[in-house]
Amino acid sequence: LLIESTAASNSLLLQQLDHIRSVMQAFELEQQVDFSTDPGVYNQLWAIRKGTFPAVGAVRKIGTTVIIEDVTFPLEQLAEGVSRLQQLFDKYYYTEAIIFGHALEGNLHFVFTQGFDDATQVARYEAFMQEVANMVAGEFGGSLKAEHGTGRNMAPFVELEWGQQAYQLMWQLKKLLDPANILNPDVVLSHNPRLHLQNLKPLPATNPLVDKCIECGFCEPVCPSRKLTLTPRQRIVTQREISRLSHSGDDPKRLVALEQSYAYQGNDTCAACGMCSTACPVGINTGDLTRQLRGRKHQRWQALAAFTARHFAAVSMMARLGLTAGRMVSALLPFWHKAMPTANYAKVKTAKQGLQPVIYLAGCSGRVMAPQAESNDKRSLLQVSTDLLAKAGYQLIVPEGIDNQCCGMPFQSKGQFTAASQKQQQLQQWLLQATHNGELPVFSDTSPCSLTLQGKLDSRLNIVDSVDFLLQNVLPKLSFTKLSEPVALHLTCSANQLGHGDKLKQLLAACSDEVVVPEGISCCGFAGDKGFVLPELNASALSGLKQQVSACCQGVSTSRTCEIGLSHHAGLEYQHIVYLLDRCSN
C-alpha cells in the first residue's frame, strides 16, 4: 500500500502523517517503510509501483501476449475482490499474474500473460474472461472498466454489466448519431459475442535484445525521432511484423515494402542514443537493435571501417580540411549555417610545471572542431580545459599519438563492432603507457566517449568524465563570479545515462542563479554525424528549444557535436561547460 499525503503547510502535513501512522498501528505489516519528503526516495517508490506492469511482461514466455484489464469493486468489497481475482488466477493457471491499482477508488488492474497459438489457450482465455465479467459485474455490481475505455476486449460484456434496457438505449443513441456504424465499430458496443477472441494480436519473437518489450510506450516521450518517424515501440512493432512475415511467407510484397520503408523510418533516423533504456522499466535499449541491424546491412563497409580505424589521424586531418573548405564556400552550401564549427589546427599551450599531472583524453570531435566562427571564445576545447584545470592546480597532459585515438563510438554507432573493438584495444594500450599502468588519472572531456568506454578498458585505468572531475576536484578549489543572466543546460543522452543531471546543475549553480533546462528535450538528435547527413532528425528533436532558451546568455553541454545542432536551433551558442566555468572562475 503506497500512501501519498500532501498539505498546504508543513504542520498540517505532519498532523496527517501522524494520523495515518496511528491508523496503521492496528495492522500487522510485512515490512515497515516510513514516510519520506526526499524526492529521491518517494520517486523511487513511485517508480517501483509504475514498473510492475512492464516488469511482469518482461519475464513472460517469448511469443505470449501481455493482457491488462482494469475493473472496479465497491470500496467496502475491495479486499474480497482482490481475493476472488487471485482465486481465478489459480483456477486458470495464470501463475505469473499480478494485481495493482488505486485503492481509494476501488480500482484494480490485473496483468497476466496469454498465448494465443492454439485452441486450448484461447478456450482458457475465453472461460477466464467470462468468469471475471460474471464476478465483477454480476456478483459485486462493480465496473468492468475503471479508468480506461471500453475496447473490443470488454465490448461483449457491456450488456451483462448494464442490463438489457440500458444496453438497448445505448444502441438507440448510437444509431441516431452513427446510422452507418462507421465510428469506431465494435468499440464499446458490438453484436459479436466472440469479438474478444478474434483478431488477437501476436507478439512474435524478433530479437533477444527487444523480445521482452510489451509495447507499453514508456520509451516514446524521450525518443528524438518521435515527431519525425518512429518511436522505439514502433520500431519493435515493425520488426516483429517483419519477423512474422519472414517466417510465415504470408505476404512477400508487404514484407518487401516494410523492409524498404524501415530503412529510413526505423534504421536511418534512429539516433541509437539509448535514451529509451532510461525510460523503459526493464532497460530495453532499442539503439542496440538498430546498431545490430546496421551491422548486418553494411557488412560491405567493414573494409572501409577497418581502413578508417587504422588511419584515424589522417581521416581526422581530412575532416579538418573539409571544414576549412566548407567554410570558404559556405555561401554555395545550403546546409551550412553559422553554428557550423571551424577547423581546429591550434596546438595546446601547456600550463606551467609543478602542477598535479592528469592525462587528457580529448574526444576526436573536440580535436577536429574548434568553436564556430562568430564565437565569443574561439579557444579550442582542449585549450580551455587546460586553462581551467591549471587554475585548480592540475596540468593536463596531451600525450603523443592522441590524433590516432578513438573510443570506438563512431564505428559502434554504425554497427561496425570489429573496428570499434580494435580502436578500444588500441586506446587501452596507449592509455596504459601514458598513465604508467594507471598511476595517473585520465580526464575525459566528452560524455559520449566516457559512456562508450564505461567498463570496456583495463580496470587499472581511472577514466574520469569531465563532469565528475570538475565537480570533485576543480569546483572546490576556485572562487566564482556569477553571471546576471540565465544559462541554458542541455543534458546530453550520454550525460543522462551517466547520471550527471544533478552534478551539472551543481556546477552551473556556481556560475548563475538561474539555470534553464528546457522541457520536452531529451536527446538532441545530432547523434554524431546524423546532424550533418539527416538534419531533419536534429530539427525535429529540438523543435521546442528556441522559445524556451530565448532569455539565456549562453548554452552549456558536454558533447561538441551536440553543441552544433543546439546552437543552430536555439539561436544561442552552446559550448562545453568548461567554457562557462573558466569564464566565471578565479
| Residue 1 within a domain | no
DSSP per-residue letters across 315-361: HHHHHHHHHHHHHHTGGG-TT--TTSEEE--PPP-PPPTTSEEEEEE
Q: Are residues 46 and 152 in the same domain?
A: no
What integer pLDDT is reported at residue 361 of this predicted model?
A: 97
| Residue 212 within a domain | no
Q: Are residues 25 and 60 in the same domain?
A: no
What integer pLDDT is reported at residue 187 of this predicted model?
A: 92
DSSP per-residue letters across 376-419: S----HHHHHHHHHHHTTEEEE--TTGGG---SHHHHTTT-HHH
Q: Are residues 411 and 334 in the same domain?
A: yes
Q: Are residues 191 and 245 in the same domain?
A: no
What integer pLDDT is reported at residue 326 of this predicted model?
A: 93
End position of a domain, from candidates 245, 276, 297: 297
Contacts of residue 394, Cβ cutoff 8 Å, sequence gap at least 6: 355, 356, 357, 358, 473, 474
pLDDT averaged over consecutive 10-residue blocks of the chain (586 residues)? 94 96 92 90 90 80 88 96 96 93 92 89 95 96 90 94 96 97 94 93 90 91 97 97 93 96 97 94 93 91 93 96 93 91 92 88 97 96 97 95 96 95 97 97 97 96 98 97 97 96 97 96 95 96 96 97 97 97 96
What integer pLDDT is reported at residue 131 of this predicted model?
A: 97
| Residue 206 within a domain | no
Q: Are residues 242 and 147 in the same domain?
A: no
What integer pLDDT is reported at residue 184 of this predicted model?
A: 93
Domain span holding position 234: 220-297
DSSP per-residue letters across 51-72: THHHHHHHTSPTB-EEEEEEEE
**Going by DSSP bridges, is the β-strand pair 65-72/107-114 parallel, antiparallel, or unpaired?**
antiparallel
| Residue 229 within a domain | yes
Q: Are residues 22 and 139 in the same domain?
A: no
Q: Are residues 141 and 60 in the same domain?
A: yes
Q: Which residues of 75-87 are buried (b: 16+ CB within 10 A; e: fewer)?
A: eeebeebbebbee
| Residue 469 within a domain | yes
8 A C-beta contact, residue 295 and residue 417 = yes
Alpha-carbon gap, residue 146 to 102, rounded angstroms: 10
CATH of residue 76? 3.30.70.2740
What integer pLDDT is reported at residue 576 of this predicted model?
A: 98
Q: Are residues 262 and 371 in the same domain?
A: no
8 A C-beta contact, residue 461 and residue 494 = no
Q: Are residues 270 and 144 in the same domain?
A: no
Q: Are residues 35 and 57 in the same domain?
A: no
| Residue 81 within a domain | yes
Among the residues of 163-300, which ranges form H helices? Answer: 164-177, 232-248, 252-262, 275-279, 286-297
Q: pLDDT (tens digit, 9 = 90+) per residue, 336-365?
A: 999 999 999 999 987 677 899 999 999 999
What integer pLDDT is reported at residue 351 of this predicted model?
A: 66
Beta bridge partners of 524: none
Q: What is the pTM (predicted TM-score) of this model?
A: 0.87
What integer pLDDT is reported at residue 298 of this predicted model?
A: 83
| Residue 203 within a domain | no
Q: Are residues 321 and 411 in the same domain?
A: yes
Q: pLDDT (tens digit, 9 = 90+) per residue, 41-82?
A: 999 999 888 888 877 777 888 888 888 899 999 999 999 999
The amino acid present at 94, given as its one-letter code, is Y
Could you report how far apart the first and last alpha carbons of the chain are, in Å?
Answer: 52
- As given in the structure block, the three cell numbers for residue 310 are 587504422
**Going by DSSP bridges, is the β-strand pair 369-372/341-343 parallel, antiparallel, or unpaired?**
antiparallel
Q: Say how many domains are in the chain.
A: 4
Q: Are residues 273 and 330 in the same domain?
A: no
| Residue 4 within a domain | no
